[in-house]
Amino acid sequence: MGIGNNMEKGVAPANELVDRENRHLNYLRISITDRCNLRCLYCVPEGRIPKLDHDDILSYEEILRIVNIGIRLGIRKVRITGGEPLVRRGVYDFLRQLTRIRELEDVSLTTNGVLLAPNAQRVFDAGIRRINISLDSLNREKFTHITGYDQFVKVWAGIERAREIGFDPIKINVVAMRGINDNEILNFGRLSLNHPFHIRFIEYMPIGNSRTSSRDQILTPEIQDMIATIGELIPVGNGQNDGPARRYRIAGAQGEVGFISALSHHFCNRCNRLRLTADGKLRACLLSDRHEPIKEVLRNGGSDEQLAEIFRTAVRQKAAKHQLYPNGVTTVKGQMQGIGG
Protein backbone atom coordinates (compact mmCIF):
# COMPACT_ATOMS: atom_id res chain seq x y z
CA MET A 1 0.00 0.00 0.00
CA GLY A 2 1.42 3.42 -0.85
CA ILE A 3 0.83 6.52 1.18
CA GLY A 4 -1.18 8.05 -1.63
CA ASN A 5 -4.21 5.97 -0.69
CA ASN A 6 -6.99 8.07 0.78
CA MET A 7 -4.64 10.99 1.21
CA GLU A 8 -5.74 14.47 0.41
CA LYS A 9 -3.50 16.86 -1.39
CA GLY A 10 -2.01 19.55 0.76
CA VAL A 11 -0.60 17.48 3.63
CA ALA A 12 2.97 18.58 4.00
CA PRO A 13 5.87 16.39 2.84
CA ALA A 14 8.03 14.08 4.97
CA ASN A 15 10.42 15.21 7.73
CA GLU A 16 7.96 17.56 9.30
CA LEU A 17 8.15 15.88 12.65
CA VAL A 18 11.19 17.72 13.96
CA ASP A 19 10.80 19.20 17.41
CA ARG A 20 12.30 22.19 19.22
CA GLU A 21 15.26 20.07 20.29
CA ASN A 22 15.89 19.17 16.66
CA ARG A 23 14.88 15.58 17.28
CA HIS A 24 13.54 13.85 14.17
CA LEU A 25 10.53 11.86 15.33
CA ASN A 26 10.29 9.07 12.80
CA TYR A 27 9.26 6.19 15.05
CA LEU A 28 5.66 5.41 16.03
CA ARG A 29 4.92 2.78 18.68
CA ILE A 30 1.35 1.56 18.57
CA SER A 31 -0.54 -0.20 21.34
CA ILE A 32 -3.29 -2.13 19.55
CA THR A 33 -5.05 -3.39 22.68
CA ASP A 34 -5.07 -2.81 26.43
CA ARG A 35 -5.88 -6.51 27.00
CA CYS A 36 -3.22 -8.90 28.14
CA ASN A 37 -3.03 -12.59 28.97
CA LEU A 38 -0.51 -11.90 31.77
CA ARG A 39 -0.69 -9.67 34.85
CA CYS A 40 2.89 -8.65 35.50
CA LEU A 41 3.57 -7.24 38.97
CA TYR A 42 5.20 -4.11 37.62
CA CYS A 43 2.58 -3.38 34.98
CA VAL A 44 -0.83 -4.20 36.46
CA PRO A 45 -2.36 -3.13 39.80
CA GLU A 46 -4.06 -5.31 42.40
CA GLY A 47 -7.65 -6.39 41.69
CA ARG A 48 -9.72 -5.95 38.58
CA ILE A 49 -8.65 -3.38 36.08
CA PRO A 50 -11.24 -1.67 33.93
CA LYS A 51 -11.02 -2.78 30.30
CA LEU A 52 -11.63 -0.44 27.44
CA ASP A 53 -14.81 -1.15 25.48
CA HIS A 54 -14.39 -2.46 21.97
CA ASP A 55 -15.63 0.90 20.63
CA ASP A 56 -13.01 2.80 22.59
CA ILE A 57 -10.21 0.97 20.83
CA LEU A 58 -9.01 2.16 17.47
CA SER A 59 -9.97 -0.18 14.66
CA TYR A 60 -7.19 -1.48 12.41
CA GLU A 61 -8.55 0.71 9.63
CA GLU A 62 -8.27 3.77 11.86
CA ILE A 63 -4.75 2.85 12.91
CA LEU A 64 -3.71 2.41 9.29
CA ARG A 65 -5.10 5.81 8.41
CA ILE A 66 -3.12 7.39 11.25
CA VAL A 67 0.02 5.51 10.21
CA ASN A 68 -0.38 6.76 6.65
CA ILE A 69 -0.70 10.35 7.84
CA GLY A 70 2.37 9.82 10.02
CA ILE A 71 4.32 8.46 7.07
CA ARG A 72 3.44 11.51 5.06
CA LEU A 73 5.01 13.59 7.84
CA GLY A 74 8.14 11.48 8.30
CA ILE A 75 7.32 8.28 10.26
CA ARG A 76 9.50 5.45 8.92
CA LYS A 77 9.45 2.92 11.70
CA VAL A 78 6.56 1.27 13.57
CA ARG A 79 6.44 -1.12 16.52
CA ILE A 80 3.27 -2.98 17.45
CA THR A 81 2.74 -3.53 21.15
CA GLY A 82 -0.04 -3.59 23.76
CA GLY A 83 -1.42 -5.01 26.14
CA GLU A 84 -0.58 -8.22 24.39
CA PRO A 85 -0.84 -7.65 20.64
CA LEU A 86 -1.26 -11.34 19.80
CA VAL A 87 -4.55 -11.53 21.75
CA ARG A 88 -6.25 -9.12 19.37
CA ARG A 89 -8.28 -10.82 16.65
CA GLY A 90 -7.10 -10.06 13.13
CA VAL A 91 -3.60 -9.06 14.21
CA TYR A 92 -1.80 -11.15 11.56
CA ASP A 93 -3.68 -9.55 8.66
CA PHE A 94 -3.05 -6.17 10.23
CA LEU A 95 0.69 -6.86 10.49
CA ARG A 96 0.69 -7.92 6.85
CA GLN A 97 -0.99 -4.65 5.85
CA LEU A 98 1.64 -2.70 7.75
CA THR A 99 4.64 -4.54 6.34
CA ARG A 100 3.29 -3.95 2.82
CA ILE A 101 3.56 -0.20 3.27
CA ARG A 102 6.53 0.64 1.12
CA GLU A 103 7.59 3.72 3.04
CA LEU A 104 7.96 1.89 6.35
CA GLU A 105 11.57 0.81 6.71
CA ASP A 106 10.96 -1.22 9.84
CA VAL A 107 7.88 -2.87 11.36
CA SER A 108 8.49 -4.84 14.55
CA LEU A 109 6.51 -6.52 17.31
CA THR A 110 6.75 -6.72 21.09
CA THR A 111 5.03 -9.73 22.67
CA ASN A 112 5.05 -11.63 25.92
CA GLY A 113 5.46 -14.81 23.86
CA VAL A 114 2.60 -16.79 25.43
CA LEU A 115 0.86 -17.24 22.07
CA LEU A 116 4.01 -17.22 19.98
CA ALA A 117 4.87 -20.91 19.49
CA PRO A 118 1.71 -21.76 17.51
CA ASN A 119 1.65 -18.38 15.74
CA ALA A 120 5.27 -17.45 15.07
CA GLN A 121 5.04 -18.65 11.47
CA ARG A 122 1.99 -16.42 10.92
CA VAL A 123 3.90 -13.45 12.32
CA PHE A 124 6.84 -14.25 10.03
CA ASP A 125 4.58 -14.77 7.02
CA ALA A 126 3.03 -11.38 7.76
CA GLY A 127 6.47 -9.92 7.03
CA ILE A 128 7.77 -9.29 10.56
CA ARG A 129 11.46 -10.12 11.08
CA ARG A 130 12.37 -8.24 14.25
CA ILE A 131 10.68 -9.40 17.42
CA ASN A 132 11.01 -8.48 21.10
CA ILE A 133 9.88 -11.02 23.65
CA SER A 134 9.45 -9.97 27.26
CA LEU A 135 10.72 -12.52 29.77
CA ASP A 136 11.65 -11.61 33.31
CA SER A 137 12.53 -15.03 34.68
CA LEU A 138 14.02 -18.29 33.45
CA ASN A 139 12.50 -20.09 36.40
CA ARG A 140 8.98 -21.44 36.04
CA GLU A 141 7.83 -20.64 39.60
CA LYS A 142 9.35 -17.17 39.54
CA PHE A 143 7.79 -16.51 36.14
CA THR A 144 4.41 -17.49 37.60
CA HIS A 145 4.96 -15.17 40.56
CA ILE A 146 5.86 -12.20 38.34
CA THR A 147 3.21 -12.68 35.65
CA GLY A 148 0.40 -14.35 37.62
CA TYR A 149 0.25 -17.26 35.14
CA ASP A 150 2.14 -20.54 34.81
CA GLN A 151 3.12 -19.91 31.20
CA PHE A 152 6.91 -20.06 31.22
CA VAL A 153 6.99 -23.28 29.19
CA LYS A 154 4.87 -21.72 26.46
CA VAL A 155 6.97 -18.57 26.31
CA TRP A 156 10.20 -20.54 26.08
CA ALA A 157 8.68 -22.70 23.33
CA GLY A 158 7.74 -19.46 21.55
CA ILE A 159 11.32 -18.20 21.76
CA GLU A 160 12.68 -21.48 20.39
CA ARG A 161 10.14 -21.48 17.60
CA ALA A 162 11.00 -17.89 16.68
CA ARG A 163 14.64 -18.92 16.45
CA GLU A 164 13.88 -21.95 14.25
CA ILE A 165 11.82 -19.82 11.90
CA GLY A 166 14.60 -17.27 11.55
CA PHE A 167 13.49 -14.04 13.24
CA ASP A 168 16.52 -11.81 13.52
CA PRO A 169 17.18 -10.27 15.89
CA ILE A 170 15.27 -11.90 18.72
CA LYS A 171 15.47 -9.49 21.61
CA ILE A 172 14.57 -10.64 25.11
CA ASN A 173 13.40 -7.79 27.33
CA VAL A 174 14.12 -8.24 31.02
CA VAL A 175 12.83 -5.73 33.57
CA ALA A 176 15.31 -6.09 36.43
CA MET A 177 13.84 -5.75 39.92
CA ARG A 178 15.50 -6.03 43.29
CA GLY A 179 14.40 -8.97 45.38
CA ILE A 180 12.29 -10.25 42.49
CA ASN A 181 14.57 -11.38 39.68
CA ASP A 182 17.94 -9.81 40.48
CA ASN A 183 19.34 -13.27 41.26
CA GLU A 184 18.74 -14.17 37.60
CA ILE A 185 20.62 -11.31 35.99
CA LEU A 186 23.73 -13.44 35.53
CA ASN A 187 21.71 -16.32 34.07
CA PHE A 188 20.17 -13.96 31.54
CA GLY A 189 23.63 -12.62 30.66
CA ARG A 190 24.94 -16.17 30.24
CA LEU A 191 22.04 -16.99 27.94
CA SER A 192 23.66 -14.71 25.38
CA LEU A 193 26.82 -16.87 25.40
CA ASN A 194 25.32 -19.85 23.58
CA HIS A 195 22.25 -18.29 21.96
CA PRO A 196 22.04 -15.54 19.35
CA PHE A 197 19.56 -13.60 21.51
CA HIS A 198 19.92 -9.94 22.35
CA ILE A 199 19.21 -9.72 26.06
CA ARG A 200 18.08 -6.23 26.98
CA PHE A 201 17.98 -5.20 30.61
CA ILE A 202 15.36 -2.51 31.13
CA GLU A 203 15.27 -0.28 34.19
CA TYR A 204 11.97 -0.55 36.00
CA MET A 205 9.97 2.66 35.57
CA PRO A 206 7.27 3.56 38.07
CA ILE A 207 4.31 4.15 35.76
CA GLY A 208 0.61 4.19 36.64
CA ASN A 209 -0.69 1.76 39.26
CA SER A 210 1.20 -1.45 39.79
CA ARG A 211 2.33 -3.70 42.62
CA THR A 212 5.93 -2.50 42.53
CA SER A 213 7.62 0.79 43.27
CA SER A 214 10.91 2.65 42.98
CA ARG A 215 12.40 0.66 45.83
CA ASP A 216 12.40 -2.34 43.45
CA GLN A 217 14.54 -0.50 40.92
CA ILE A 218 17.97 -1.74 39.96
CA LEU A 219 19.84 0.72 37.84
CA THR A 220 22.02 -0.09 34.85
CA PRO A 221 25.44 0.50 36.45
CA GLU A 222 24.74 -2.22 39.01
CA ILE A 223 23.38 -4.64 36.39
CA GLN A 224 26.28 -3.94 34.08
CA ASP A 225 28.83 -4.58 36.84
CA MET A 226 27.21 -7.95 37.47
CA ILE A 227 27.24 -8.88 33.78
CA ALA A 228 30.89 -7.81 33.47
CA THR A 229 31.83 -10.60 35.90
CA ILE A 230 30.88 -13.12 33.16
CA GLY A 231 33.43 -11.76 30.71
CA GLU A 232 34.74 -8.67 28.98
CA LEU A 233 31.95 -6.45 27.63
CA ILE A 234 32.81 -5.46 24.08
CA PRO A 235 30.79 -2.49 22.81
CA VAL A 236 28.67 -3.08 19.70
CA GLY A 237 27.90 -0.11 17.50
CA ASN A 238 24.26 0.93 17.24
CA GLY A 239 22.56 0.35 13.91
CA GLN A 240 20.02 2.68 12.39
CA ASN A 241 17.02 0.81 13.83
CA ASP A 242 18.47 0.22 17.26
CA GLY A 243 16.89 2.67 19.64
CA PRO A 244 18.33 3.62 22.99
CA ALA A 245 19.96 0.38 24.20
CA ARG A 246 23.68 0.51 24.92
CA ARG A 247 24.83 -2.73 23.35
CA TYR A 248 27.68 -5.10 24.18
CA ARG A 249 28.83 -8.58 23.37
CA ILE A 250 30.31 -10.63 26.19
CA ALA A 251 33.67 -11.83 24.82
CA GLY A 252 33.07 -15.04 22.84
CA ALA A 253 29.26 -14.81 23.01
CA GLN A 254 26.89 -15.59 20.14
CA GLY A 255 24.35 -13.06 21.29
CA GLU A 256 24.44 -9.63 22.89
CA VAL A 257 23.48 -7.84 26.05
CA GLY A 258 22.04 -4.33 26.08
CA PHE A 259 21.02 -1.83 28.72
CA ILE A 260 18.06 0.53 28.50
CA SER A 261 18.52 3.16 31.15
CA ALA A 262 15.51 5.46 31.04
CA LEU A 263 16.19 6.63 34.60
CA SER A 264 19.90 6.42 35.32
CA HIS A 265 20.94 7.72 31.93
CA HIS A 266 18.19 9.68 30.25
CA PHE A 267 18.29 9.23 26.50
CA CYS A 268 15.70 11.93 25.85
CA ASN A 269 18.09 13.89 23.66
CA ARG A 270 18.08 10.95 21.21
CA CYS A 271 14.39 10.07 21.56
CA ASN A 272 12.75 9.72 18.15
CA ARG A 273 9.44 8.26 19.37
CA LEU A 274 5.79 9.04 19.31
CA ARG A 275 3.17 6.67 20.76
CA LEU A 276 -0.35 5.88 19.68
CA THR A 277 -2.35 4.45 22.58
CA ALA A 278 -4.96 1.72 22.24
CA ASP A 279 -7.72 4.26 22.86
CA GLY A 280 -6.48 6.66 20.23
CA LYS A 281 -4.26 9.23 21.89
CA LEU A 282 -1.01 10.47 20.49
CA ARG A 283 1.68 10.76 23.18
CA ALA A 284 5.01 12.42 22.63
CA CYS A 285 6.66 10.93 25.73
CA LEU A 286 6.12 7.64 27.55
CA LEU A 287 6.85 9.36 30.84
CA SER A 288 4.48 12.30 30.46
CA ASP A 289 0.70 12.13 30.47
CA ARG A 290 0.34 14.90 27.92
CA HIS A 291 -1.45 13.58 24.88
CA GLU A 292 -3.43 14.63 21.86
CA PRO A 293 -6.84 13.01 21.31
CA ILE A 294 -6.56 11.86 17.71
CA LYS A 295 -9.45 9.34 17.81
CA GLU A 296 -12.13 11.97 18.37
CA VAL A 297 -10.94 14.03 15.41
CA LEU A 298 -10.80 10.92 13.26
CA ARG A 299 -14.31 9.81 14.23
CA ASN A 300 -15.77 13.26 13.80
CA GLY A 301 -14.83 13.18 10.14
CA GLY A 302 -11.49 14.97 10.53
CA SER A 303 -9.56 15.60 7.34
CA ASP A 304 -6.06 14.30 6.71
CA GLU A 305 -4.78 17.81 7.28
CA GLN A 306 -6.54 18.01 10.67
CA LEU A 307 -5.02 14.68 11.65
CA ALA A 308 -1.60 15.84 10.47
CA GLU A 309 -2.01 18.91 12.65
CA ILE A 310 -2.45 16.64 15.68
CA PHE A 311 0.90 15.05 14.94
CA ARG A 312 2.45 18.50 14.71
CA THR A 313 0.89 19.57 18.00
CA ALA A 314 2.17 16.45 19.76
CA VAL A 315 5.64 17.14 18.39
CA ARG A 316 5.50 20.76 19.58
CA GLN A 317 4.56 19.51 23.05
CA LYS A 318 7.36 16.98 23.39
CA ALA A 319 9.32 17.94 26.47
CA ALA A 320 13.09 18.27 26.16
CA LYS A 321 13.51 15.79 29.01
CA HIS A 322 11.26 13.57 31.11
CA GLN A 323 11.03 14.21 34.82
CA LEU A 324 11.41 10.74 36.28
CA TYR A 325 14.56 10.11 38.28
CA PRO A 326 15.95 7.09 40.15
CA ASN A 327 14.03 6.46 43.38
CA GLY A 328 11.55 9.15 42.48
CA VAL A 329 7.80 8.82 42.78
CA THR A 330 5.79 8.40 39.64
CA THR A 331 4.08 11.31 38.03
CA VAL A 332 2.73 9.18 35.20
CA LYS A 333 -0.92 8.23 35.60
CA GLY A 334 -1.35 6.30 32.35
CA GLN A 335 -1.20 2.50 32.53
CA MET A 336 1.48 0.73 30.54
CA GLN A 337 -0.99 -1.72 28.91
CA GLY A 338 -2.76 1.10 27.11
CA ILE A 339 0.37 3.05 26.24
CA GLY A 340 2.44 0.09 25.11
CA GLY A 341 5.85 0.57 26.70
The footprint of ligand SAM (CB under 6 A) covers 36, 42-43, 81-82, 84, 110-112, 134, 173, 175, 202, 204-205, 207, 336-337, 340-341
Q: How far is the CB of 219 from ligand SAM (least distance, A)?
A: 12
Write the CB contacts of 117 (distance below 8 Å, at least 6 apart in sequence): 154, 157, 158, 160, 161
Q: Exposure string (b/e) for 18-35, b if CB count within 10 Å is 16 or more?
A: ebeeebebbbbbbbbbbb
Q: Name the nearest CA neighbour of 61 among 16, 98, 25, 35.
A: 98
Q: How far is the CB of 73 from ligand SAM (least distance, A)?
A: 25
- Comparing CB distances to ligand SAM, the nearer of 72 and 291 is 291
- Comparing CB distances to ligand SAM, the nearer of 263 and 315 is 263
In angstroms, rounded to a whole number, what is the distance separating the alpha carbons of residues 128 and 108? Answer: 6
Write the CB contacts of 284 (distance below 8 Å, at least 6 apart in sequence): 19, 25, 274, 275, 290, 291, 314, 315, 317, 318, 319
69 contacts 11 by C-beta, under 8 angstroms: yes
Q: How far is the CB of 274 from ligand SAM (least distance, A)?
A: 16
Where residue 22 falls (left for φ over 0; alpha for ψ -120 to 50; beta otherwise) is left
In angstroms, rounded to a whole number, what is the distance separating the alpha carbons of residues 128 and 168? Answer: 10
Q: Name the nearest CA neighbour of 333 among 302, 295, 287, 271.
A: 287
| Number of residue whose CB is nearest ligand SAM | 341
- Comparing CB distances to ligand SAM, the nearer of 25 and 86 is 86
- Comparing CB distances to ligand SAM, the nearer of 222 and 309 is 222
**DSSP tag of 268:** G
Q: How far is the CB of 208 from ligand SAM (least distance, A)?
A: 8
- Comparing CB distances to ligand SAM, the nearer of 137 and 173 is 173
- Comparing CB distances to ligand SAM, the nearer of 66 and 172 is 172
Residue 336 CA: distances (Å) to CA of 34, 39, 254, 320, 339: 9, 11, 32, 21, 5
Q: How far is the CB of 315 from ligand SAM (least distance, A)?
A: 23
- Comparing CB distances to ligand SAM, the nearer of 68 and 272 is 272
Q: How far is the CB of 113 from ligand SAM (least distance, A)?
A: 8
307 contacts 13 by C-beta, under 8 angstroms: no
Q: How far is the CB of 116 from ligand SAM (least distance, A)?
A: 11
Residue 6 CA: distances (Å) to CA of 72, 128, 231, 293, 328: 12, 25, 54, 21, 46
In angstroms, rounded to a whole number, what is the distance separating the alpha carbons of residues 171 and 193? Answer: 14
Question: Is the preceding omega at residue 169 within 30 degrees of 0, hence cis?
Answer: yes
- Comparing CB distances to ligand SAM, the nearer of 74 and 206 is 206
Q: How far is the CB of 238 from ligand SAM (least distance, A)?
A: 19
Q: How far is the CB of 137 from ligand SAM (least distance, A)?
A: 12
- Comparing CB distances to ligand SAM, the nearer of 26 and 173 is 173
